[in-house]
Amino acid sequence: MKKTYTLTQLVDSVKKVLNRTYGEQSYWVSGELVKLNIKGGHYYLELADAEKGLNTAQMKAVIWRTQVLALQTNLGEEFKLLMQPGNRLLFRVSVTFHEIYGLSLTIHDLDPAFTYGEIELKKKQTIERLKLEGLFDLQKALRLPMIVKRVVLIGSPDTSGYRDFLSEMRQNNIFRNFIIQEIATTVQGDKAVAEICAALQEADTYAADAIVLIRGGGSKMDLNVFNDYQICSAIAQLRLPLITGIGHETDEVVADLVANTRQITPTAVAKFLYIRVGTFRAELQYLLDKSLQIGLTQLNQASELFSSTNKFLTHYFQNIITEYRTDVQIKLHRIQVSTNEILADQRAILDLSLEKSASAACHLLNIVQTIELPSMLEKLVLHSSNQIEIQRLEILNLQEKVAVLNPLKLLKVGYTMSSIDQTDLSLYTGELIGKELQTLTDQFIVYSTITKIQK
């Protein structure tokens, strides 16, 4: 006959073995926090281990409410940040076996230093991966404009660092004419990575000079989100230069290392931007003053040179003018003498020509007067008489034609003239039947109505 046991007997045996083996001892155990459920102040956890992407162990654990309060007292806000799924933690635990709920771990303590070491390890791995992919120095190759006027601000509006940045940008005494496009996002918690990456991609589409990513300080766990590979990769591949003001002075996050420019705090970022404008303005003013000084110096030198040159040229040209004036006067005298001689010769020639022309004209006039003029007059009288006779004959001929074509003469011999609406019948083109016909004779006008026509 087989020896059998009840389930209770078997479970009780397992519990005794576990109690003998582990007893009340505690152990420091590291693992990744996979799930967390808080109920009645108790923290119910699910821990796991993995190797090469595959789970190698998984177990439930619990932190009872009294121990939770103790850890919160010791660690403060750090406890809440450590207890985030995805963090790798180091716990002091004891092994517990319950007849119904099975094997689990009871957590008595938590060592944050282990998690910080894990953070540094992940940070180092992120840096090595970015360098291997050629992303680490991309932002450093971008040129940050001397005047950054259009800014895209990424951060949480609920934080004091965010408000300090805006206050410093808008109330400083150096330059306040900034154009700030705000993109609100969380900077910690489960949604922080996705929201910050989305905000970076959106900011890179704006027509801006630079992107500013800020957070108002915090602990190593608070700032761990800025070591995330996705955020750092997105920063490295931005089209616009990015300035960080994460709010810490000692430890650098990877986002600082891949950014174009890093400042310690959000307020320091604002000061960096407006002091940069002020410096540029001061340099411009210095160069303007220097240019004016150089210009005035060169102007004075040129004025002195002009004055001395003017004096020299005045004296030089006065001598030249005196010499030329004497030469011109001599030449003018010579020209005047030559001109008078030429005029006298031409006057004598002209007088002789006029005398010859007058004699020839008188001789020609005498010939025309005595011979040609009477002959021309006789021809003119004869021609005029002929033309008058021709014109008289043409007039008589026209009179005869007019008499023949006189309408009255035609009417007297029996002809008549007909019209409709004062239009000659031969030219009328409208309807004839029913129209009034006017017939003109040599004595009267006959009015009749057309009743019939025949071609």
Interval 203-218 mean pLDDT:
88
- Is 203 in contact with 240 (CB distance < 8 Å)? yes
In terms of Cα–Cα distance, which of 234, 213, 57, 225 is closest to 130?
Answer: 234
Examine the pLDDT at 188 and tell me if it is beyond 80: no
- Residue 345 CA to residue 347 CA, distance in Å, equals 5
408-435 pLDDT per residue, tens: 777 787 788 888 888 888 888 888 888 8
Phi, psi of 3, rounded to the nearest 5 degrees: -85, 125
Q: How far is CA 54 from CA 29, 39, 57, 58, 230, in A?
A: 19, 30, 9, 11, 22
* Second CATH level (architecture) for the domain 10-110: Beta Barrel (2.40)
- Domain edges within the chain: 10-110, 120-280, 398-455
Burial code of 392-405, b = ≥16 C-beta within 10 A, e = fewer? eeeeeeeeeeeeee
Q: What is the pLDDT of residues 98-108, one digit of tens each?
A: 878 788 888 88
Which residue in this structure is represented by tokens 């190759």? 141
**pLDDT band for position 231 (50/70/90)?**
very high
Angle between helices 266-367 and 160-171 (to 10 degrees): 30
The arithmetic mean of pLDDT across residues 202-221, rounded, is 84
Q: What's the pLDDT band for 221 if we cut at 50, 70, 90? A: low
Q: What fold characterizes domain 120-280?
A: Rossmann fold (3.40.50)
Quick one: pLDDT at residue 197? 94
Q: Give the separation between CA 206 and CA 200, rounded to whole angstroms.
A: 10
**Is the pTM of the predicted complex or chain greater than 0.85?**
no
Residue 329: pLDDT over 80? yes
pLDDT tens figures, 25-56 = 888 888 888 888 999 899 998 888 877 767 78
Q: What is the pLDDT of residue 14?
A: 81
Nearest partner of 61 among 23, 103, 30, judged by Cα: 103
**HSE-up of 128 (CA within 13 Å, CB side)?**
6
Burial of 94 from C-beta contacts in 10 A (0-12 / 13-18 / 19+): middle
Average pLDDT of the chain to the nearest whole number? 85
Other C-beta atoms closer than 10 Å to the C-beta of 357 total 10
Q: Is the model more confident about 201 or about 353?
A: 201
Q: What is the pLDDT of residue 195?
A: 93
